[in-house]
Structure 1
Amino acid sequence: MNYDVDVLIVGAGPTGLALAAQLATYGTSFRIIDRRQAPSTQSKALAVQPRTLEALRPFGVSDAMVRRGNAATQLHLHLPEDTVSIGLFDAGVEDSAYQQLLFLPQSDTENILTSYLASRGVRVERGAELLELDRLDPQDPFAGMEARVQRQDRGIDRIRARYVVGADGVGSAVRRRAGMDFRGSGYEDSFVLADLEIDGAEPSAVHAYPTDDGFMVLFPLGSPASWRMISLKDKGDTSETTLSSLQETADKFSGGTLKLRDPHWMSTFRLSHQMAEYFQWGSVFLAGDAAHVHSPIGGQGMNTGIQDALNLGWKLALGARGLASDELIDSYDAERRPVAREIVGFTDRLFKLATTRNGVKKLPRTKLLPALAPVAAASERLRSRAFRTMSQLGIHYRGSDLSETGGNRLPAVLASGPRPGDRLPDAAVTYQEHERRLQDLVSSPGFHVLLTGPGWPEDTPQQFHAALPAVDGLLSVHRLVVGSRLTPGGPGIIQDTSGLAFERLGLSARRPEIIVVRPDGYIGFRSSGTDINGALGYLGRLTGTSEESSLRTA
């Protein structure tokens, strides 16, 4: 097929921009369009989780997000009889460079990503609305698509793309044009949302007020206003949201201790929990709110969308180079839909607990929460499990066809360290006499192989490159060793001077192992010993070069 671009991205919110950023690092041809004439100026989604900051770090934008954002270190749970303070992300996230819940307006997130793309010569095409989407070959759903786009500046544009990604939100035109079902329902209750100033609320903390009548939560936004307020409206209340009505709501939940002023933005809205039946239809993919939408409780929505994008981007980039097996391309739906389904279900359960007014169903909020909150605050184990989930560091793809364990490795119940499908933990290491982060050293585009422990022949990296010449520019081989700051490291040698990398990976300095890290930072393959054939077979299978690698190692 003669394509205009390899990938057409429809939608320039955080999900579409993150996908564009990843494709740009691979040199993949793409266009990103959005029907809006200008970027949004509203704060919208504001919670940025540690895993998202990790995943965006290769583009050099995460530190800018941290500088512009506002980190919350405490949750103050205002109960009827007492206020319980719980440290946020003070446990369960030790293996990440980002140990904070960051609040950053979505408009700022989009601005930072857009600036990164501009630095790479990429421009978001605005005022461009998708009208039609047709297969280039009606008999072959994988042959690519032709999009008919209404351009406000120059009429109709036809774009032939190998792949089309719908990152265009809950009302996705891509999803509708592709005929993909969006299943679920809306919640009955209405909510008020406002960005404003609040006197009387301790800064740098999230404040939650659960009561018999529902809840109110205050988030330390920082900009464009100091606080984001969200609360449940009274049943049947259809009145306009005003500063006066917001003050009445705050008085009801806080007992009159808060003074609201200077609103930047106020709104009334409804929520739903819905998910697409499939995230892929031939050459068409869905990501972010186009694929799943749910309650904002837990700050999972935007983060899940960005993770969708970064799971998909490298697969499409390899596909555009002819280096992706069908299994690799199809793995997007198989890996991300179960994650989205779990998050939609989890947030739905939390949301109903927080909002129900039913006499029996609200007992966990009104009776159990006051009793259990002090226990949770005092238990590092409980906080660790909760924050591991909330931070998205615990998301894994262990059941994926892309996760493979070498035959000589101990069974999962006996082996130590993360399994194939788990995220690669981070740690400070030394490389070329400078302190670096392990995740940074394996973040350049492509696959990264870590050779650990003793016994590796010096020419092992050369063996990998010779066996997989088609993947050579997308394959890096490193030695990870227990080292000392006083011992100079050679080319390609990563020294674990603190021992934390070996500890977090479950490695031994006396036992050789091989770990293949996928381009999205997850472990794809792991085996013991110095036989590289299993890793070569794995890489060959994913990139469609299995026959080539087997011939060269025969």
Structure 2
Amino acid sequence: MSEDVREIPVLIVGGGPVGLAMSLDLSRRGIRSVLLEQSDGTIEHPRTGLIAVRTMEAFRQWGIAQEVRACGFPEDYELSMVFCTALNGLLLDREFYPGMRDTPTPPETPEKKQRCPQLWLQPILARAALGHAETQILFKHRYEALAQADDHVAVQALDLATGARKDFKAQYVLACDGAASQVRTDVGIAMQGRPLGYSVNILIRSPGLARRHLMGEAERYMFVGPEGMWGNLTVVDGSDIWRLTVMGSQEKMDLESFDASSWVRRAIGEQDGEARTDFEVLSVTPWRRSETLADHYARGRVVLVGDSAHTMSPTGGMGMNTGIQEVLDLGWKLQGLLEGWGGDGLLASYEMERRPIARRNIGFSTQNFKAWQDTPDPARVCDATPEGEQIRKSLGKRLREATRVEWESMGLQIGHRYEDSPICVPDGTPPTPDDFRVYLPTARPGSRAPHVWLDDGRSTLDLFGRSFVLMVLDSGVDSQAEALAAACSERRVPLEIVRLTEQRVRESYGAALVLVRPDGHVAWRGQAIANPLHLTDLVRGALHPQ
């Protein structure tokens, strides 16, 4: 290692949405970090487009929700799902969804979903992170190697602009470097799973395309041919940029023989001799659809976050959104460890809480992908005959009903819970059903704390993020709250006591006292605190439940 070594609390490898979100969350906690990103920050082939409800709640906490909503995606652009043979072909069915302006905010959350393509989202996250003195982002810096010691990780990086080697000494290294994570490989964490198929993404520019075909505006068009569903076209910016995904075999990944323009013309539905729709192919990217999960989420002081820990089919849009949930779970735990109040078991709880959720989200995504493939007897789907019409009607209904959970997944997005967490205290109540579509609000320990509007216009979710919060929801329990405050002060655990009188909050949270973690998940609830020091030690990762 050279003499010029930078010592930092946290080094982040990878500057995609999850890495940038990690730097933002840490900076808001007063934790310095350096992020290494080997590109110059340009997004050549944007993938992420759907910002799920829980991610928007995180953006609300970080103060960027309104900027994301004002990203530039047209508020009146219709977000329907269309099943068809081609844009200028035959319709199978249509699932109507309004534009963002007319989409109501669900009662279970203060934030509805949002469409914001990655090419706009990443700059928003980068600006927000760089707005804090604690953040440094080094573009065109490639991670090279690491070596772990008991109290730090030594990291080598290469400045791609100058060729200079740079050395870092970090207390923790976060692998946000994606599915092919070199950091994960270097620490010897294996992935288990299977490929689901091969696809090619074609990014095109075609101004006004949505107004120049028969199917009308939609978020996604799913194309069915005689071979079954062969691809889909997804809106990117609501105007000019589109992403065509062609699903197929290993052979279709051979770019030397892959004719991107012919696939685009098939999606548009143009026949020889017809007027050509203008489009420009911007990029062509082959990729493997897979479902994989890391054996472990950490080794020593190296922690996996986002796609380095899991891969899943994009059907359902939960890849990045799962990663943002991991940011929320990990950020406050690193804060506790770096500030000295976190116990020895705090980092281990990250894997114990988040790995089962990733497995759940992987299963959801694969279920959705299988629903896309459920197209029996499609051979005559393109025939302009009564038989063809009946086939289209049958397949359209089948696909619309089978894929609806992909677009309506509130239970998946905010209903996840940390059932076996060692830093949450079970209260003996039964779990609510784990239904991908339906979310039932609950303050059962391990669950996301319910959203309730307060009299002052805030959401209960606005109370959380910086520290533990003890919600005092009944009179006569002030001495209990003061005892827990004293215990947290003794252990140097940040705690805020919030007294609320709204009866609807009491009814939703189901107890006189509710302790909520900095990530907005309930750690404990009850009518009295039998042993405040024991409770404090448990939620900070210094004990295991008795």
TM-score by length of 1: 0.79
Alignment of 1:408-419 (within 5 A): 417-419=442-444
More displaced 10-residue stretch of structure 1: 226-235 or 339-348: 226-235
More displaced 10-residue stretch of structure 1: 88-97 or 341-350: 88-97
Q: Give per-residue Cα distances to partners, 1:22-73, cap 9 Å, x unaligned.
A: 1111111322112223343432222211110101222111211111153676
Alignment of 1:282-361 (within 5 A): 282-355=300-373
Displacement, 1:129?
1.9
The verdict on how the C-alpha distance between 1:417 and 1:127 changes in structure 2, with shifts beyond 3 A counting, is closer
The verdict on how the C-alpha distance between 1:190 and 1:441 changes in structure 2, with shifts beyond 3 A counting, is closer
Displacement, 1:227?
3.3
2:188 to 162, 168, 179: 179
Tell me the secondary structure at the aligned position of residue 338 of structure 1.
Answer: helix
The verdict on how the C-alpha distance between 1:366 and 1:328 changes in structure 2, with shifts beyond 3 A counting, is farther
Residue 141 of structure 2 is aligned to residue 128 of structure 1: yes
Contact 1:404–1:524 under 8 Å retained in 2: yes
- Which residue of structure 1 aligns with residue 288 of structure 2? 271
Residue 220 of structure 2 is aligned to residue 206 of structure 1: yes
Q: Give per-residue Cα distances to partners, 1:436-489, cap 9 Å, x unaligned.
A: 22211223x1111111133233x655443322215667211111212xxxxxxx
Residue 19 of structure 2 is aligned to residue 16 of structure 1: yes
More displaced 10-residue stretch of structure 1: 143-152 or 333-342: 143-152
Alignment of 1:521-536 (within 5 A): 521-527=520-526, 529=527, 531-533=528-530
Residue 125 of structure 2 is aligned to residue 113 of structure 1: yes
More displaced 10-residue stretch of structure 1: 179-188 or 126-135: 179-188
Across the aligned residues of Structure 1 and Structure 2, the Cα RMSD in angstroms comes to 3.7
- Which residue of structure 1 aligns with residue 517 of structure 2? 518
The verdict on how the C-alpha distance between 1:479 and 1:216 changes in structure 2, with shifts beyond 3 A counting, is same
Residue type of the partner of 1:449? L
- Which residue of structure 2 aligns with residue 491 of structure 1? none
Tell me the secondary structure at the aligned position of residue 350 of structure 1.
Answer: helix
2 CA distance for matches of 1:516 and 1:259? 62
2:156 to 148, 154, 166: 148
Displacement, 1:523?
1.2
Alignment of 1:464-479 (within 5 A): 464-470=484-490, 474-479=494-499
- Which residue of structure 1 aligns with residue 387 of structure 2? none
Contact 1:424–1:523 under 8 Å retained in 2: yes
Tell me the secondary structure at the aligned position of residue 309 of structure 1.
Answer: helix
Displacement, 1:257?
12
1:538 to 523, 535, 538: 535
2:236 to 197, 208, 221: 221
Give unpaired runs (5+ residues) of structure 2: 85-89, 382-390, 434-439
Displacement, 1:19?
0.9
- Which residue of structure 2 aligns with residue 395 of structure 1? 416
Contact 1:468–1:545 under 8 Å retained in 2: no
- Which residue of structure 2 aligns with residue 158 of structure 1? 167
1 CA distance for matches of 2:43 and 2:408? 32
Residue type of the partner of 2:445? P
Contact 2:56–2:112 under 8 Å retained in 1: no
Contact 2:202–2:283 under 8 Å retained in 1: yes
Tell me the secondary structure at the aligned position of residue 124 of structure 1.
Answer: strand
2 CA distance for matches of 1:405 and 1:30? 35
The verdict on how the C-alpha distance between 1:246 and 1:411 changes in structure 2, with shifts beyond 3 A counting, is closer
Residue 73 of structure 2 is aligned to residue 60 of structure 1: no
Displacement, 1:297?
1.0
Residue type of the partner of 1:76? M
Displacement, 1:144?
2.5
Residue 91 of structure 2 is aligned to residue 84 of structure 1: no
- Which residue of structure 2 aligns with residue 435 of structure 1? 457
Residue type of the partner of 1:75? S
Give unpaired runs (5+ residues) of structure 1: 138-142, 483-495, 548-554
TM-score by length of 2: 0.80
Contact 2:36–2:137 under 8 Å retained in 1: yes
Residue type of the partner of 2:476? G
- Which residue of structure 2 aligns with residue 31 of structure 1? 34
The verdict on how the C-alpha distance between 1:278 and 1:454 changes in structure 2, with shifts beyond 3 A counting, is same
Contact 1:251–1:258 under 8 Å retained in 2: no
Count of residue pairs the alignment pairs up: 501
Contact 1:10–1:33 under 8 Å retained in 2: yes
